[in-house]
A = this chain, B = another copy of it.
Amino acid sequence: MINLFPCGVSAMIKVGIVGGTGYTGVELLRLLAQHPDAHLETITSRKEAGMAVSDMFPNLRGRVGLKFEDPAHAPLAKCDVVFFATPNGVAMQQARALVDAGVRVIDLAADFRIKDVSVWEKWYGMQHACPDLVKEAVYALPEINRAEIPGARVIANPGCYPTAVQLGFLPLVEAGVIELNGLVADCKSGVSGAGRKAEVSTLFSEASDNFKAYGVAGHRHLPEIVQGLSLRAGAPVGLTFVPHLTPLIRGIHATLYARLNKNVDIQALYEERYANEHFVDVLPAGSHPETRSVRSANFCRIAVHRPQGGDMVVILSVIDNLVKGAAGQAVQNMNILFGLPESTGLQQIPILP
């Protein structure tokens, strides 16, 4: 049976993290160490087992006392929830055992995001280890489907680009006011989106004072976005998605283009759609959201434009890729899973400048 902490009960959620040496891992640690209802039980790293977490991440000195544990010995099965902050392909190997032990699983990687397993296998280049859990898993973008989350055993936490792009296109798609074929998502990501792996292309001397597109031929987040938008549209969506690497640490800026086929007040449409969303902020007409306005916080800020009053709309959507695009949204999902107010532990004000 799945444990559930009724709202207001003081028992702490016992949390485990698998793979805590990357950027989504340290960000989870930062958020969870400040969360009033969560208790970090264990964090694993095969390679760094025995090392104090705060030796690797000195910002956590005095706040996180854990050492990395070998995943073979870590008490993951005793946790209420386990976050996978691992490369693609890890969570699908371990989720079954945890689920069977009554542990909720939140995967920050892509293992459970794509419902069509053959599509997933094509884009991710490996065979899926547990297709049945894919079927059961909830793709959890709370602004779309928070009602499905509380009962879930496996949560597929959305990707960073897919979060910014779906939240940006959603009101238009749901309202049925745009041509679904020919959408363009021109997206720019900070370098932390590439993770904490040692690679030449993300060295400071390569990525600083430089700008480039990548993956134009096809990026793994494309099928995820198309799946999400098509589902909401109730019809297939045609999307051209071009990601770019930009010299900032955190932040995604999605510039979205769509052609209106009905004359609507898009400012009002967006304000109404997100009126009750704590983490989606529709800016006043004429605004240009900056990535730093959400730096280190769980917000998505959106501005809508219709240049020269034509039928092309331009949507600007920004998030912090490590927060609303990863760890923050995962904590938001944990809050929903355990019946807590959605913004619990996620009230930090963005850092500016």
Complex contact A204–B208 (CB within 8 A): yes
Cα–Cα, bound, A253→B211 (Å): 7
| Integer count of this chain's copies in the complex | 4
What's the nearest-Cβ distance from chain B to residue A54, in Å? 10
Task: Determine if B288 and A182 form an interchain contact, defined as CB atoms under 8 angstroms apart.
Answer: no
Which one of A7-15, A149-157, A268-276, A343-351 contacts B? A343-351
A238 to B186, CA, bound (A): 19
The distance in angstroms between the C-alpha atoms of A206 and B249, with both chains bound, is: 9
A331 to B157, CA, bound (A): 37
Determine whether A87 belongs to the interface, using a CB cutoff of 8 Å to chain B.
no
Say whether A203 faces chain B, with CB atoms less than 8 Å apart.
Answer: yes
Question: Which of the candidate stretches A137-145, A290-298, A332-340 sits at the interface with the other chain?
Answer: A290-298
Question: Could you tell me if B353 and A33 are in contact, using CB atoms closer than 8 angstroms?
Answer: no
Q: Inside 8 A of A238's CB, which chain B residues have their CB?
A: 310
Q: Of A103-111, A126-134, A165-173, A212-220, which binds chain B?
A: A212-220
Cβ contact within 8 Å between B210 and A292: yes
Is B198's CB under 8 angstroms from A59's CB? no
B312 touches A59 (CB 8 A): no
Known A-B contacts A188-B211, A202-B205, A288-B212; the reply to A58 vs B293 at CB < 8 A is: yes
Q: Is A184 an interface residue, CB under 8 A from the partner? A: yes
> Is B240's CB under 8 angstroms from A312's CB?
yes
Q: Which residues of B contact A307 (CB under 8 A)?
A: 216-218, 240-242
From A60-68, A76-84, A91-99, the one touching the partner chain is: A60-68
**Given A58-B293, A59-B292, A242-B255; A202-B199 close (CB under 8 Å):** no
- Who on chain B is nearest to A207 by CB? B204
State which residues 24-59 of A face B: CB under 8 Å. Answer: 26, 30, 33-34, 57-59
Cβ-based interface call for A324 (8 A): no
Residue of B197, B286, B290 touching A212 (CB-CB under 8 A): B290
Please give, as numbers and ranges, the residues of chain B lying within 8 Å of A186 by CB-CB distance. 184, 186, 255, 257
Closest to A301 in B: B58
- Given known contacts A191-B204, A312-B182, is B247 in contact with A247 (CB within 8 Å)? yes
* A308 on the B face (CB < 8 A): yes
Task: Return A156 CB to nearest CB of chain B, in Å.
Answer: 24
- Supplied contacts A203-B204, A210-B251, A211-B248, 7 more A-B pairs, CB within 8 Å: A30-B349, A59-B297, A63-B349, A196-B200, A199-B203, A202-B204, A204-B249
Q: Which 9 A-B pairs have the closest CB atoms?
A: A59-B350, A59-B352, A186-B186, A204-B207, A58-B293, A198-B198, A191-B204, A212-B290, A210-B292
Give 15 pairs: A residue, B residue, CB < 8 Å, sorted on A. Answer: A34-B349, A61-B281, A61-B293, A191-B205, A196-B206, A198-B198, A203-B204, A204-B206, A204-B208, A210-B248, A211-B251, A216-B305, A217-B305, A218-B307, A257-B257
Task: Give A contacts to B, CB under 8 Å.
Answer: 23, 26, 30, 33-34, 57-63, 182, 184, 186, 188, 190-192, 194, 196-200, 202-214, 216-218, 238, 240-242, 244, 246-251, 253, 255, 257, 259, 281, 283, 286, 288-297, 301, 305, 307-308, 310, 312, 314, 316, 318, 347-353
